[in-house]
Amino acid sequence: MTTLASLGFDDFFSTQFEQFDKSWSPARVVAEGQSSFHVAGCRAPLADLSGRLMKTLDKLGRPVVGDWVAVIDGVDRASIQHVLDRRTTLVRRAAGTKREPQMVAANVDVFFVVTAANRDFNERRLERYVTAVWNSGAEPVVVLNKVDLDADLGPLLEAIERAAIGVPVIRASAATGVGLDDLRAHIRAGRTVGFIGSSGVGKSSLTNRLLGREVQAVAGLRNDDRGRHTTTARQLIELEDGGVLIDTPGMRELGLLEDEGGIETTFADVAAFAEHCRFRDCKHTTEPGCAVIAAVETGELPVERLASYRKLVREIAAAARASDPLLASRTKARWKATHRAMRARSKVDPKLKRD
Ligand code: GDP
Ligand code: ZN
């Protein structure tokens, strides 16, 4: 049975309710329709923004899949009064020419970063996805899928360890079912998970394995406003054994935006060497006394790691110049990410090991 708790309503959200009008109730956005939001947890299946929110919410503040909202409930329609502070936010650059920030999903707790054990495997791409996940405030778990193919897993696992320092790794096969239990071990009641990774790595296949019979779960045909019929695939699905899966097409391709500490966490090795650079703001390019370049010269740091680090830093700097400042609601993610960065770094820098 669906309850607020099974949908992921926990203390982080319920405490926000203390300040609201007693007539408001919580609901979670399960899909964005043409002009309304599909919601769960309240009586009405559809909700619209209140007139006030319609005027005051900016692009990034608008509800997205995974958001918790406060509604005035109704029989078939609810009215959204407030979008609750988000615990995590996955933001990407919009496709097309404008390349502005776009909120993809909110309040995902764990992202399975899927990669495949074949020649599509790409260490650099993995760094990019893991960085994006750290920046969202969620926890990454790397899934090496297609282990049924006859690949030499040793070097791939080593590459993953280099690219995703301190991140749990699961070997899986959507084809044989291997590793699915390890995946499920990261999913539990009230937790929200999602898959990201480039196309073809097996995200849909793994999703289908997790969902079992529910594969075709869709919100179905609804009589949307103005008599228009629209089909909206439900993008937030409760799993049978507990837990919530968010599956939105927007999570498929990611460009990086501004950094929330994700780069430092992903590149904990670079960050550890950088502690010893002569200049605090060293860019590790041509500065004298750069400990990062020195580490590359002695072979302690792979040159590809430094190149990849620089590329992501440049990409984020370019995006930051091109876009609006992001929501204040993301400061929480930044705070968390900083702590994670420390944790990840302690794994590579013995000086930081004592707790
Ligand atoms: P997505 O684009 O990431 O959603 O990838 P899909 O789930 O659509 O899978 C892409 C292709 O890889 C399909 O032809 C799948 O049948 C195949 N595939 C997915 N997982 C596995 C696996 O574990 N092993 C093998 N051999 N093929 C797989
Ligand atoms: Zn340096």
The answer, yes or no, to whether any atom of ligand 1 lies below 6 A from the CB of 208, is no
Q: Report the mean per-residue pLDDT for the chain.
A: 84
pTM for this structure? Answer: 0.76
Residues 236 and 100 in one domain: yes
As a whole number, mean pLDDT of residues 216-229 equals 38
Q: Could you identify the atom of ligand 1 that is nearest to the CA of residue 195?
A: 3
Residues 200 and 346 in one domain: no
**Res. 348: pLDDT tops 70:** no
Is 4 among the domain residues? no
Is 252 among the domain residues? no
pLDDT tier at 247, thresholds 50, 70, 90: confident
Residues 234 and 282 in one domain: no
The answer, yes or no, to whether any atom of ligand 1 lies below 6 A from the CB of 146, is yes
Q: How many domains does the chain have?
A: 3
Of 224, 247, 270, the last residue of a domain is 247
Which ligand is nearest the CA of 287, by number?
Answer: 2
Q: Which residues surround ligand 2, an ion (CB under 5 A)?
A: 277, 282, 284, 290, 292
- Mean pLDDT is highest, among 66-75, 227-236, 259-268, for 66-75
As a whole number, mean pLDDT of residues 39-51 equals 95
Residues 190 and 104 in one domain: yes
Interval between CA 308 and ligand 2 midpoint (Å)? 15
**Res. 22: pLDDT tops 90:** yes
Residues 95 and 143 in one domain: yes
Residues 114 and 181 in one domain: yes
Residues 180 and 279 in one domain: no
Domain that holds residue 223: 89-247
CATH number of the domain within which 18 lies: 2.40.50.140
Residues 222 and 167 in one domain: yes
Angle, CA 14 vertex, CA 11 and CA 19 arms, to 5°: 130
Is 54 among the domain residues? yes
CATH number of the domain within which 287 lies: 1.10.40.50
CATH number of the domain within which 194 lies: 3.40.50.300
CA distance linking residue 14 with residue 162, whole number of Å: 39
Which ligand is nearest the CA of 292, by number?
Answer: 2
Q: Could you identify the atom of ligand 1 that is nearest to the CA of residue 197?
A: 3
Q: What is the per-residue pLDDT across 143-190, written as a single tens digit (0 to 9) for each?
A: 999 999 988 999 999 999 999 999 999 999 999 999 999 999 999 999
**Res. 85: pLDDT tops 80:** yes
Is 336 among the domain residues? yes
Residues 226 and 334 in one domain: no
Residue 299: CA atoms inside 13 Å, Cβ hemisphere, count? Answer: 0
Share of the chain above pLDDT 70, in %: 79
Residues 68 and 202 in one domain: no
Is 3 among the domain residues? no
Is 299 among the domain residues? yes
**Res. 262: pLDDT tops 90:** no
Of 60, 83, 106, the last residue of a domain is 83
Interval between CA 111 and ligand 2 midpoint (Å)? 31
Torsion of CA 323, 328, 329, 330, to 10 degrees: 60
Q: Which residue is listed with tokens 């969620």?
A: 138
Is 1 among the domain residues? no
Q: 205, 208, 209: which to mutate for ligand 1, most atoms within 8 A of CB?
A: 205
Is 135 among the domain residues? yes
**Res. 354: pLDDT tops 50:** no
Alpha helices in the chain (DSSP H): 11-17, 51-56, 123-136, 153-163, 180-184, 203-211, 262-266, 268-274, 291-297, 303-322, 331-348
Range with the poorest average pLDDT among 100-104, 170-174, 345-349: 345-349
pLDDT of residue 100: 74
Q: What is the per-residue pLDDT across 277-332, written as a single tens digit (0 to 9) for each?
A: 999 889 898 889 999 999 999 999 999 899 889 888 887 777 666 654 554 444 44
Residues 99 and 161 in one domain: yes
Residues 186 and 221 in one domain: yes
pLDDT of residue 97: 61
The answer, yes or no, to whether any atom of ligand 1 lies below 6 A from the CB of 209, is no
Interval between CA 174 and ligand 1 midpoint (Å)? 7
pLDDT tier at 27, thresholds 50, 70, 90: very high
As a whole number, mean pLDDT of residues 89-102 equals 75
Contacts of 252 (CB under 8 A, 6+ apart): 196, 198, 199, 203
